[in-house]
Structure formats: C-alpha cells, structure tokens
Structure 1
C-alpha cells in the first residue's frame, strides 16, 4: 500500500479548520493565569485582614467603652463618698450646735428658776424674817444661786446676783 492508498481510518488526520465557526484552536497555557490567581488570593487575604482588623477594633472599642464606664462609675462613687463625708461633717456640726443650744436652754432655765427663788425671797423678806431665812436656806440647797445673772438688764440697777448677796448678808 502506498501512502496514498492507506485507509482513512488508519491515519489520523486533523479536522479541517472552519474559519467561520468561531472556534479557536487550543492555545498553550497562558502565563498570566497564575498571576491572576495570585492577585485574587492576595486580594482575599487583604479583605480577610481588613475584617480581622475591624473585629479587633470593635473589640478594643468595646473594652475602652467598658473602661470609660467603669471610670465614670468610680468617679460617681468617689463623688458620693465625698458628699457623704461632707454631710456627716455637717451633721456633726448640727449636733454640736444642738448640744450648745440645749446647754444654753438649760442655763436659761436655771436662771429663770433662780430669779423666781429671788423674787420669792425678796417677798418673804418684806413679810417675815423667819420665812425669808428658811427660803434662803432652801435656795442654797438647790445650788441655783450661781445661776443668778451677774449683770442687770436694767441700766444702773443692781444685778440679781448682787441683790441676793445683799439679802444673804442681812441674814448671815
């Protein structure tokens, strides 16, 4: 058999290229394809890093917000403690003022009682010597003679303490 006589099925023949069909013959592998894959991988990694960075930033922001809230709460507690101390100091001052006022009231009450004793003694001196002496002794037992005012409320008049000493001197 001659090469011209060989059957068509024994020898492969390339298919006829049809220029109008739009098919292109297979090309050899393109060198730019691995670069495209590499760029896509880098882009994905960059997006992943951006996402991780965003999540970490949100976490840090949340932690800072919690810290700021804690600081604000601590400041509020400190302010309340200072206010509490100030109020306790004011309360102590008010208690001291109340005690001072109470002692002044007690002293004024003793003065009123002593003045009443003096009035009754002066009335007894005008009526009965023995009754006046008995009242002076009872007045001395109460210890109120020290509560008599040493200054007169009337200008130029004798003080109640001096008036009592004068009466006492008349009897003893």
Structure 2
C-alpha cells in the first residue's frame, strides 16, 4: 500500500483525507485507488504523501547513469501484514497515526495505518483486514543510514502529529 496523497490537520480536533493505492502480483498492472476520510485529534497539519526517494538513491543515479535504479515500487509501497480482498475494505473502518515534518521537497514521517470492519468500542466485526507502517526514510530505525537519507525528497508542507479514524472507499 502507498499513500499517494494526503491533506489534513487541526488543533485538537482535526480531519484528514488520504488517497491509498494498492499493488499485488494478483492485480497485474492495476493499481486500485481508495479514498479514506477520517477525523480525530491533531496538532498541526500537512499536505503531501508518503512517496519519497532517498538522497543516496538520487546521488547514485546522478553519479552513475549506468547504475541499476531501485524499482519505484520498493520506494513507494509499504508491505501489509495479511491478505484480504479489496471489496472487503470498501466502506471499512480506517485508522491512521501520523507524525511528520515537511518543507517543500524534503520531509521525514512515520505513518501507521489499520483497516478493519466497523466496530463500536471494539465490539463487532472480525479482526483486522490489514495494518501497515510507512517510515520515510525507510531507514529510520537504523540511525547511521537515516542520517544519510533524512530528510528524503518528497512533496509536502507542514508539521503534524495526528490520530484519525474514519472510513475508506474504492474510487478507481
């Protein structure tokens, strides 16, 4: 899953919108899009996405035109921890926790996403459809490499710490 675009923010009470894109071998060349709208609590706001390119990859490509490029899918998509049918998540409950800072073309962020059947106070529905964690740069836990690649090249503007829940719908 990739978060190709997001917009949200507020002070205490807040809202956000996210466009999610999925890929899998079973989908072939198709990349289904979903819109997630959610509300909750936040400090700050941002506009952008979690697609990014590490600085080290840019330098490698510029310094050696014959270098084998890292596939974009590896940079954009975070793995999901389980399998599900896309029709299952249409209308499902969507929760996201996001912490990040962006300025024009550079940024750092951590995003955690969960999708599950709608539940009220943890009652109802089956378990979780999927969870995913996006770290930009992906090397955040490895401090040495993170210092080389942080911040990463990505579109965005703002500073945000947010926790939202809402719903997700298939849009294309």
Q: TM-score, normalised by structure 1?
A: 0.18
Report the structure, 1 or 2, having the larger helix content: 1
Report the structure, 1 or 2, having the larger strand content: 2
The structure with the largest alpha-carbon Rg is 1
Q: TM-score, normalised by structure 2?
A: 0.18
